[in-house]
């Protein structure tokens, strides 16, 4: 379980293909070093919950299987790409974002970006099957970042980014046409399931 509050940005330094999957070596970048990673722990890499399978002083390795590569943008990541990093929530930690599982539902495409003062407005296109679970002022995780929805239409949604988010996450560099990982609000998904809607 995560909160969508990115702890640091890392960078992919190696990508190795394996049968049906990929292994990534990631430089921990701005991830705080005072609390070292542990082998086998969960870490969100641009919103994808992955397992740490190797650790070095400056890097760590994770593996992504076929389902993860199919549903996320990790299959298109290359050496040098920046990624958002968040360690799993501990009992007693502040929940500053919203409940994020690291289970990406789909990807969305950035279709519009404009500056509004010190803020940035971003609009994304997404498959219409997902927008029924989105509401203005509701929560969404984009590349692992907990954000508040501004507007929602049949096949798109928009957000606003404050200067801190622009500086501290990969969304600050996102350009039109890029694909981002999207996790819908898990509470909305459960309510829909309980109501028997498909």
Architecture of the structural domain at 8-87:
Beta Barrel (2.40)
Integer Cα distance of 162 and 152 in angstroms: 19
Condensed to tens digits (0 to 9), the pLDDT of residues 71-101 reads 999 999 999 999 999 999 888 888 888 989 9
Cα–Cα distance, 178 to 22 (Å, whole number): 21
| Residue that the structure tokens 């640091």 belong to | 8
The DSSP-derived string for 41-98 is -EEEETTEEEEEEEE-SSEEEEEE-HHHHHHSSGGG--TT-EEEEEEPPPTT----S-
Fold entry, domain 106-194: Elongation Factor Tu (Ef-tu); domain 3 (2.40.30)
The pLDDT value recorded for residue 2 is 95
Confidence of residue 189 (pLDDT cuts 50, 70, 90): confident
Whether the predicted pLDDT of 185 surpasses 60: yes
Q: Which of the residue ranges 31-35, 98-102, 130-134, 145-149 would you say has the lowest mean pLDDT?
A: 31-35
pLDDT cut 70: percent of the chain above it: 99
The residues of the chain that CATH labels 2.40.30.20 are 8-87, 106-194
Structure tokens at 113: 């970006």
Q: What angle do CA 104, 109, 110 make, to 5 degrees?
A: 120
* Contacts with 97 (C-beta within 8 Å, 6 or more apart), sequence order: 2, 3, 4, 5, 139, 141, 146
């Amino acid at each position: 379980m995560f909160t969508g509050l990115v702890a640091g940005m890392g960078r992919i330094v190696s990508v190795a293909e394996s049968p049906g999957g990929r292994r990534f070596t990631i430089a921990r970048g701005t991830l705080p070093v005072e609390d070292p990673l542990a082998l086998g722990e969960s870490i969100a890499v641009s919103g994808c919950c992955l397992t740490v399978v190797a650790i070095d002083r400056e890097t760590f390795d994770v593996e992504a299987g076929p389902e993860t590569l199919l549903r996320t943008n990790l299959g298109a990541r290359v050496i040098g790409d920046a990624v958002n990093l968040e360690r799993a929530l501990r009992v007693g930690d502040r929940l500053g974002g919203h409940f994020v599982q690291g289970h990406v539902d789909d990807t969305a495409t950035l279709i519009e970006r404009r500056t509004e003062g010190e803020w940035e407005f971003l609009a994304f296109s997404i498959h219409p099957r997902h927008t029924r679970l989105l509401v203005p002022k509701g929560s969404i995780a984009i590349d692992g970042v907990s954000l508040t929805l501004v507007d929602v239409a049949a096949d798109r949604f928009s957000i606003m980014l404050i200067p801190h988010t622009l500086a501290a996450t990969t969304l600050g560099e996102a350009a039109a046409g890029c694909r981002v990982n999207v996790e819908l609000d898990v509470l909305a998904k459960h309510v829909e399931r309980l109501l028997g809607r498909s």
